[in-house]
Every structure is written in structure tokens, then in C-alpha cells.
């Protein structure tokens, strides 16, 4: 006890482990570990030496990406030799003493993009801390109050303690252990953790626990609102007291509502700006004609996650164009259908970031790769232009070309006759699955 052990073998992140008398010092962006040992890094320390071991770390999960790592605050991890009895102490006095470990991470980088918030933050927090059973304090560099609020439901399932703002809290916090940096597995994924069979489905169950109280509250609010909107709630409880024509109308409305609820529910994640579906309204009508109950979601950074979770958790199918909002496939129940519309030039990213991970979650993934004629780029380039017929060669020129042409400069107009086949296939799959479930 008294050393720092760092694992720097991953291309994605560095993680350092500390155990003993650990004390934070935010002014110098340092965490000190006070040790009585005289051995460090395989050599004997001279009596007068105070610093026994020194490590640097940027606790963010995109280690390979220099441009973003240059924006991440660096922490100094220092093992200091304890002063001998009778000598003036060099230890920072504890101002806040914790009995549980700390997990220290950066909340900077690409925070603000929902994909990165889950992939580089929330999921690594789950992976790194789940074995501590909520007995852990999260310590955030580049702390954002809005992020704490947005993810408070999830954070409450990971830790019983409030998140500490490392640079905004200049008190000395003392811990018995600390993990500095986050472990990360793959894109939006949880591999089986050592010694446990924990997978992405366990994270999905955690989301259920996190959002159920708020969803229940929303349901109660809506029930109260319905009662308030009824002209005379006392009369309507007893249909026999109504005039025959009004009673019949109410019965028909209730039957229509019941029939609508029986239909497979399709949620469309709608985009504004680039990569939007130009003929979205026609697509909604097509889906309704096939037999879907359709809900269109237009999430933005201020949309409460519990409301998005409620819509997708209760759905049978999700459709959306490739982009960060596809991260919300994590809110779907295993066995549901996920159709990702893949614009030109986005094949690799669509499959890597959302397609493959959705299969690991247990979704029925049905990608829809658009043809050049379904892209808004079709009218801007000649038919033999590589932008239309060889996107890989364009992507090979660099990220700036991909972003400008395919991500920021492209919308989608679906060939509804072609897309209908995908919707019918999904409808049949959902119907068959519901039939099998009802027979159990």
C-alpha cells in the first residue's frame, strides 16, 4: 500500500489506481498519496526525498485523439513520503473525509453531444464503478452543472453520493482509495466484466431503475390532467347516465383508443437541419397505413431524458437517420426493431457506432442504406462523381471532407416504395414476435 499503479495499455484510456492516505489539492491539480514506504519504481528512496512516485494522467476516454486530449485538464498523481514522527508534517490536513473510494474523471472533451456523453462518460462510469455497488464518490474535472442535472437519474443508480467539482471545490478531500480515469470497452458497449457476466443489458436494466420513478410521475400527471379536462368527470364515469347519442360516441372513442394501443408502436427520431428526412410526413402516413401507431420525437439538448426513455421503452420500433440521436437505441427493449437510415458516405460510422452495438443489446437491426437518388447530393453532382458513386474515396481524403459533404451537407428523401418493404418486414417481425409471446 502506498504506490500508484497505472494501466496505460489501452489505446482508449489510461487508468491509475491509488490506495492508502489519499488527499486532493485542486489548486495544483494534484492528488497526493502519503506513504511510509521507502521503495518506489524498483529503487530505494533516500531519507531526505519526499516525492517517491509521480504520474501524469488526463482522465478522458479518447486517449488516441490528440486534438481533443489537448483540451483535457491534466492531473498530477504524487506519492509523498510521510514525515517522521516529531518532524513538521508535509501532509495537507483533511477537510472532508470520505470512507468510500473516489472515481476521478474528466467531464470535458466532446461533452454536449449525446453520443459522447454516453460512450465517453456514462457507460465508462458504469464499467469502472459498478463493482463498488454505489459506494463511491465521483470527482469530476471540468464539471458541468447541466450535465449533473441531465444525468441525475442515472448517477443516482451509480453512486449514493453527490458528484464533487474538483476544480471548484478547493477543500482537501481524503479518500482510502481512488481510481483516476475510466475504463472503456467498445462503442456504446459493455463487454463481460472480469469475474462477472455483466453486459450492456445490465446497463439497460439500470436505466429502467433510473427512469421508472420519473415515468410513474409523468403518468400520474397525465391522469390528473385528463380528469381536469373532462367537462364533468362524475357523469362520465357512468355512461348509462349520459344521453344515448353521447354514450355511444364515448364508447366508440374508447374502442378506437383500445384498437390504436394494440398496434405496434413506431417512434421516429426526427432531425432538423442536416440529414433530415425531407418527406417525413409522407413516411409517417405510409407507416400508419401499414398498421403502425406512430410517434415523432424531436429531441434537443434540453429535452428531458426520462420523456425520451418513456417513448422508446414503450415502443416496438425506432427509425432515424444516422447521427448522435441514434444513441437513444439504448432506451429500446431487447427484441425491438431498430431501422437506421444510412446516408451516403456514412456506412462505416453508422455500423460501428450504432448498428453493431444495437445488436449486442439484443435489438433486431434492419439498416436502410439509401441510394444516390435518395440523397439531396444527387442534384448537386454529376452521376459519375465520386461523391455519389465512390464515397469511400472521398472519406479517405480526411474527416473535414466527410463532415462537410456527407454529415453537414446532406438530407434524405426516401424512396417510399423501396422503404415500404423495410417497414412491412419490420411489421411482420413485430407481429410474429407478439404472437409468440402471447402463446407462452
Residue 16 near residue 30, CB atoms below 8 Å: no
What's this model's pTM, rounded to 2 decimal places?
Answer: 0.89
What is the mean predicted confidence (pLDDT) over 211-238? 75
pLDDT at 236 over 80: no
Residue 28 near residue 20, CB atoms below 8 Å: no
Tell which residue, 151, 144, 142, 149, has the closest CA to residue 118.
151
273: left (phi over 0), alpha (psi -120 to 50) or beta: left
Give the burial class of 219: count Cβ atoms within 10 A of its Cβ; 0-12 exposed, 13-18 middle, 19 or more buried.
Answer: exposed
| Dihedral sign of CA atoms 227, 229, 235, 236 in order | negative
- Residue holding cell 452521376? 383
30 HSE (CA, 13 A, CB side): 15
For 37, the 3-state DSSP assignment is: coil
Residue 221 is predicted with a pLDDT of: 84
Question: How many whole angstroms separate alpha carbon 430 and alpha carbon 422?
Answer: 12
Question: How many whole angstroms separate alpha carbon 420 and alpha carbon 422?
Answer: 5
Question: How many whole angstroms separate alpha carbon 262 and alpha carbon 249?
Answer: 20
Residue 141 near residue 59, CB atoms below 8 Å: yes
Give 43-83 pLDDT, tens digit per residue: 444 444 588 899 999 999 999 999 999 999 999 999 988 76
Ordered structural domains, the chain, with CATH: 4-37+49-185 (no CATH), 265-438 (3.40.50)
Residue 258 is predicted with a pLDDT of: 64
- Residue holding cell 464539471? 143
Q: Residue 90's pLDDT band (boundaries 50, 70, 90)?
A: low
Give 23-48 pLDDT, tens digit per residue: 999 999 999 999 876 544 444 444 44
Q: Residue 436's pLDDT band (boundaries 50, 70, 90)?
A: confident
Question: How many whole angstroms separate alpha carbon 116 and alpha carbon 96?
Answer: 32
- Residue holding cell 464518490? 137
Q: How far is CA 416 from the centre of its chain?
A: 31
Amino acid at each position: 500500500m502506498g504506490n500508484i499503479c497505472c494501466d496505460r495499455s489501452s489505446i482508449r484510456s489510461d487508468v491509475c489506481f491509488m490506495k492508502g492516505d489519499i488527499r486532493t489539492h485542486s489548486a495544483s491539480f494534484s492528488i497526493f498519496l502519503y506513504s511510509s514506504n521507502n521503495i518506489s519504481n524498483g529503487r530505494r528512496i533516500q531519507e531526505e526525498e519526499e516525492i517517491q512516485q509521480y504520474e501524469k494522467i488526463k482522465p478522458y476516454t479518447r486517449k488516441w485523439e490528440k486534438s481533443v486530449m489537448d483540451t483535457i485538464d491534466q492531473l498530477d498523481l504524487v506519492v509523498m513520503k510521510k514525515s517522521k514522527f516529531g518532524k513538521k508534517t508535509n501532509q495537507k490536513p483533511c477537510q472532508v473525509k470520505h470512507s468510500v473510494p473516489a472515481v476521478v474523471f474528466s467531464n470535458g472533451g466532446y461533452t454536449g453531444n449525446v453520443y459522447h456523453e454516453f460512450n465517453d462518460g456514462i457507460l465508462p462510469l458504469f464499467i469502472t464503478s459498478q463493482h463498488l455497488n454505489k459506494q463511491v464518490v465521483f470527482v469530476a474535472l471540468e464539471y458541468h452543472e447541466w450535465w449533473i442535472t441531465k444525468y441525475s437519474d442515472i448517477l443516482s443508480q451509480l453512486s449514493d453520493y453527490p458528484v464533487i467539482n474538483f476544480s471548484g471545490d478547493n477543500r482537501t478531500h481524503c479518500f482510502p482509495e481512488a481510481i483516476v480515469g475510466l475504463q472503456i470497452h467498445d462503442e456504446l458497449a459493455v463487454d463481460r466484466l472480469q469475474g462477472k457476466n455483466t453486459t450492456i443489458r445490465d446497463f439497460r436494466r439500470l436505466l429502467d431503475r433510473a427512469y421508472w420513478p420519473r415515468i410513474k410521475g409523468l403518468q400520474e400527471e397525465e391522469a390528473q390532467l385528463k380528469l381536469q379536462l373532462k367537462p364533468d368527470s362524475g357523469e362520465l364515469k357512468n355512461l348509462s347516465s349520459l344521453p344515448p347519442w353521447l354514450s355511444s360516441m364515448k364508447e366508440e372513442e374508447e374502442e378506437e383508443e383500445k384498437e390504436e394501443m394494440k398496434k405496434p408502436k413506431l417512434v421516429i427520431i426526427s432531425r432538423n437541419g442536416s440529414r433530415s428526412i425531407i418527406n417525413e410526413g409522407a413516411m409517417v402516413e405510409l407507416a400508419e397505413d401499414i398498421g403502425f401507431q406512430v410517434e415523432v420525437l424531436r429531441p434537443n439538448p434540453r429535452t428531458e431524458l426520462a420523456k425520451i426513455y418513456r417513448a422508446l421503452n414503450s415502443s416496438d420500433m425506432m427509425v432515424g437517420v444516422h447521427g448522435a440521436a441514434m444513441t437513444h437505441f439504448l432506451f429500446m427493449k431487447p427484441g425491438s426493431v431498430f431501422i437506421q437510415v444510412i446516408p451516403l458516405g456514412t456506412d462505416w460510422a453508422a455500423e460501428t457506432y450504432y448498428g453493431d452495438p444495437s445488436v449486442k443489446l439484443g435489438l433486431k437491426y434492419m439498416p436502410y442504406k439509401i441510394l444516390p437518388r435518395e440523397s439531396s447530393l444527387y442534384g448537386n453532382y454529376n452521376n459519375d462523381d465520386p461523391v455519389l458513386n465512390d464515397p469511400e474515396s472521398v472519406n479517405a481524403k480526411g474527416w473535414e471532407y466527410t463532415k462537410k459533404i456527407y454529415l453537414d451537407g446532406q438530407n434524405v428523401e426516401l424512396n417510399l416504395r423501396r422503404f415500404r418493404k423495410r417497414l412491412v418486414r419490420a411489421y411482420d417481425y413485430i407481429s410474429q414476435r407478439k404472437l409468440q409471446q402471447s402463446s407462452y
